[in-house]
Each structure stands twice: as structure tokens, then as C-alpha cells.
Structure 1
Amino acid sequence: MTQLSPILSTNIEKAVNCLRQSDTVCILTGAGISAESGIPTFRDKQTGLWENYRAEDLANAGAFERDPNLVWSWYQWRRNLVKDKQPNPAHHALARWQQAWQQQNKAELTLITQNVDDLHEQAGSIATHLHGHLWKNRCSKCDAIYDMPIDYTDAQLIHCPHCQGFIRPDIVWFGEGLPVDEWLHAKLSARTCQVFITIGTSSIVYPAAGLVDLAKYSPYQAKIIEINPNPTDNPMVDIQIQAKAGEALPQLVNQLLSE
């Protein structure tokens, strides 16, 4: 177990005391938690064949319409890049926390993620994905789910069996709306929680970043806890834990579940 500084230990203890007095908790995770498992973020520079492209220029519907083969090839490359990545201590701590509270009927913990990987699920969590799923696909024309096995080493485009449109990743691209049901669930969870925790997110990508506002200005006036090695300095944050999630969360969860 990583030894944390006195100030971090104090802030974790504050967070634990706050959580022990709460019946509803909502957690939002971002790219930072997956980066600790070796998954590149959109802010990281592209490498290899893709170093001359920006992720923002490929992850949008317009790019797919102009050159579907280019975008599909890039996503196949990304899938191969992350296929062997494993959950880190932060993912496992969240899963243990969620499962323990469910078994004890102690409190409600909702996990919302901006990440498209499945590391939360691999660790055993139930998570709501706001930005889609890297390992799922659908038709770009008729929107039908495509659940046939895919060889992720093959960059050849796939046609929809229903309308012959091109199959695309089931991911929310720049300029597209969030999935309705998932977004409604996230907003309801934020509005009704007593504690809202952001983990590994810069809180600048909207509309997901607006969940902090919903939680803070709800009738419950949720306490906001931020876990991030690079603090956002958001004035709405009540408890700031300046550390990597993989270092802070195991200790937080150990203390919280040891009562």
C-alpha cells in the first residue's frame, strides 16, 4: 500500500467521514483512471502511423462520412492498443466498494464513466457509460446493433446485414448527443446524491462536466470530492485529494469499509 503524505491522509479521512454520513453517492470517472492502466488519453500525442492525426479529427461523424476506412482503421488500432490492459487498484477498489454496499444495503453508490473501455466491468463494477463502448459496434446508417464477432486485427470495413451501411464503433463522437437513457440516469443520480466524487477527470468536457453543478446546486447540496493528481481548482470542490486514483482509492475504501 502506497504511503501517502500527511495532508493527503487527512483529506482522505475527511472524505471517509463525509461518506459515512451519506446515503447516496454518485461517482464520475474520467480518462485519468484508465491512464493508470496504460490506456492513452485523447490528450496524448498519437504514435506510429497516426502521429500526424489529431484524435479530435478522427472521432467525429464527418470524418467517418469522408473516409470511413481511415476512421475504422484508427479504431481497430486503438482496440488492439488497449485489448490487453487490465483494471488497476482504483478500478478494483471501486468495485469492492460498490459490491460491499450493495450486499450490506448500506447506501446507494452509482458509478458513471466517461471512459469507453470496460475496465470497470472487468473489475466487477456496474457502470453507466456516457460516451459509449469501445468494444461494441452499430450501423452508421440504420443504427442497428452489430453483435457479430469482429477480428480487431482486420481493418477492412464491415457492412450492415440489414441495410449495407458501414459498421462504426458504438461510441459518442464529437458533436453527437449522449445516449438518452444513460444521460437521464446520470443527471438523476447527480441531483439526488449527497456526495459527488470526480475521479481522474478534468471536468471540462460537457455535458458530463455539468453533473458537478447539478449535484452541488440540488436540494441536497451534495459535498464534492475530487481525486486527481492535477487539481482542477474548481471552487465547488469541498475535499480535494491530490493523488492518483490507484494510490488514494484503495486507502479510502479500506478505511470506509473497515468501520
Structure 2
Amino acid sequence: MAGSVDTTGIERLASLLREASSVVALTGAGISVPSGIPDFRTPGTGLWENVDPMEVAHIDAWRRDPEHFWQFYGERFQSLRDKEPNGAHRALVELERGGVLDAVVTQNIDMLHRKAGTRELVEVHGTIEHSSCLACGATYPLDEVRARQAADERGVPRCDCSRPLKPDVVLFGEFLPEGAMERAGALAAQADVLLCIGSSLEVWPVAQMPDVTRGAGGEVAIVTTGPTPYDGIAAVKLEGDVVAELAAVVAAL
């Protein structure tokens, strides 16, 4: 039932967090679902259920047909425009402000952690907050990108140098930003507890973070619906409503 929590699991997770000197959160699409943002692969509702990501979210698709690419991304940007952080995002902010949580590493591009007030944030897949010109290096904020897309007869936001802009998100076929991944790896290695929230833990290289934490002697805790490859080694696994579960953890500390 939505809103119900695993009280035994909550107490176990709260105990882990109380005893830890360093806690790092790793978040995926599932943390933003309560904000009205679909995840990628849930049957019937996932973003990739009706479109081929290789056709709309690959760097070659952007290079080959920026008009088709931006038709998809323009709609995606519009759908994210008015989304707000939910209780799960706010719970992590509360943990950070309380000195329990060191940082959030997120696979999400939706800016909701930033909107919620997370201070130490590593966005390993980039962000929709701005787009850049790969020709001259100019960068434009999201509102300006939207305005330029609306003004272009083909619906392609363009740089002042006339080249198509690319959103500053990691597309299929691109490497993850080196600095962000180095920071994420360092955080995982120092963590006594890696708190994985709303992630299937199947998308590499981010999915190796639990191995890094475990290899350094830390514990892995998972708060997500559905199985992950790390369920068998997790110190605790919660599968209820992510907002209710995290609110209960905060209350138990």
C-alpha cells in the first residue's frame, strides 16, 4: 500500500546512519517518480517504452538530425519545467543539514535535488540546466534555450554562431564527465554507508559504486522498488514508497 513502511528495515537503516561517519546517497530516476517524472523502463510508463533512445537520445542522433532530436528534447524539457522536488528529495536535504549525509550523487538530469536545496551534489549524467555549443563553447541557461528553440523555424535552439546547441546531459554514446565520476568514486570509497535510492543499479559505470563502497569496507543500503543486482549484499533493502520510507528514516534518527 502506498505510504506503508517496513518498520524493521527503517530501524535497521536508521541505525546504520547513526553509526556511520560518512554517508553518501546515490539517486536514480525512481526518486523523481513521485514528482510526476516517469522513469525509463517501467512497463507501461517508462520513458523508453514508446521511443527508441538510440534515435532520440544518442549523440549521433543529435549530430545527424538536430531537428528530430530537439523535437523530443524540447518536449522533455517542457515536461520537466514545472516539476517540483518531493518529500524524498527534501528528506535528503534534511539529512545533509543535520550532518548525517555528506553528498548526493545523482544519475538524474531534472535539477530537483538542486531545487530542493542539496548543497553537495554530483550530477554524473549532467543537467538540463543549460545547453552548450560544441563548436565555440558558448553556454546558455535553460530559459534562453527554450526561447531560442521557440524562435527557430525548425525548432532547433542555436548558438549565436548559428550552430545547434546540445543539452549538457550525457547522451548515449558519450563518456560521463571525468571530474564528476572521479568525485563520485572518491565519495563511494570514503562512505561508511552508500544509500542507493530509486536506482536499478544497472547503468554503468555508476552501477559499480556499491562495489567501491563494499571494497573499502562500507555498507550498501537500498531504497528502491524492484530488484537490483546488489540486493543480496545490501545491509538493508526497502521497497516501499520512497517518500514515506525516507520520511520514516529521518523521523527515526
What TM-score does the superposition give when structure 2 sets the normalisation length?
Answer: 0.88
| Inter-CA distance 60–3: structure 2 relative to 1 (3 Å threshold) | closer
Aligned to 1:150: 145
Letter in 1 for 2:135: K
Q: What is the CA-CA distance between 1:73 and the residue it aligns to?
A: 1.8
Gaps in structure 1 of 5+ consecutive residues: 102-106
Sequence identity of aligned pairs in percent? 32
Aligned to 1:215: 213
The aligned residue for residue 128 of structure 1 is 122
Letter in 2 for 1:225: A
- Give distance in 1, aligned partners of 2:43 and 2:138: 33
Give the paired residue count.
Answer: 243
RMSD of equivalent CA atoms: 2.3
Q: Distance in 2 between matches of 1:122 and 1:211?
A: 25
Unaligned runs of 5+ in 2: none
CA distance in 1, matches of 2:14, 2:42: 33
CA distance in 2, matches of 1:3, 1:51: 27
Residue 131 to residue 46, structure 1, CA distance change in 2 (3 Å): farther
What is the 5 A alignment of 1:1-259? 4-5=4-5, 8-43=6-41, 53-101=51-99, 107=100, 109-126=102-119, 127-147=121-141, 149-151=144-146, 154=150, 156-161=155-160, 163-218=161-216, 221-232=217-228, 234=230, 235-256=232-253
1:46/1:53 contact within 8 Å kept:
no
Q: Tell me the alpha carbon deviations over residues 117-166 of structure 1, each in whole angstroms, 9 at most, x when there is no partner.
A: 011111111221010111310113344323472336726223323x4321
Q: Distance in 2 between matches of 1:205 and 1:141?
A: 29
Query: In 1, Cα distance between the equivalents of 2:145 and 2:165?
Result: 11
**Structure 2 CA distance for partners of 1:130 and 1:211, relative to 1, 3 Å:** same
AA in 1 matched with 2:234: V
Whole-angstrom distance in 2 between the partners of 1:191 and 1:217: 8
Q: Distance in 2 between matches of 1:41 and 1:140?
A: 28
Letter in 2 for 1:169: P
Aligned equivalents of 2:171, 2:44: Cα separation in 1: 18
Equivalent position amino acid for 1:240 in 2: K
How far 1:79 sits from its partner (Å)?
1.0
1:225 alignment partner, SS class: strand
**Structure 1 residues 151 and 193 mapped into 2: Cα distance closer, same or farther (>3 Å)?**
same
Contact 1:12 1:248 in 2 (8 A): yes
CA distance in 1, matches of 2:229, 2:207: 14
| Structure 1 residue 108 displacement after superposition | 5.2
More helix by share: 2
Equivalent pair of 2:131/2:145 in contact (CA under 8 Å):
no
Cα deviation, residue 240, structure 1: 0.8
Whole-Å Cα distance in 2 between the matches of residues 195 and 44 of structure 1? 27
| Cα separation, partners in 2 of 1:52 and 1:124, compared to 1, 3 Å | closer
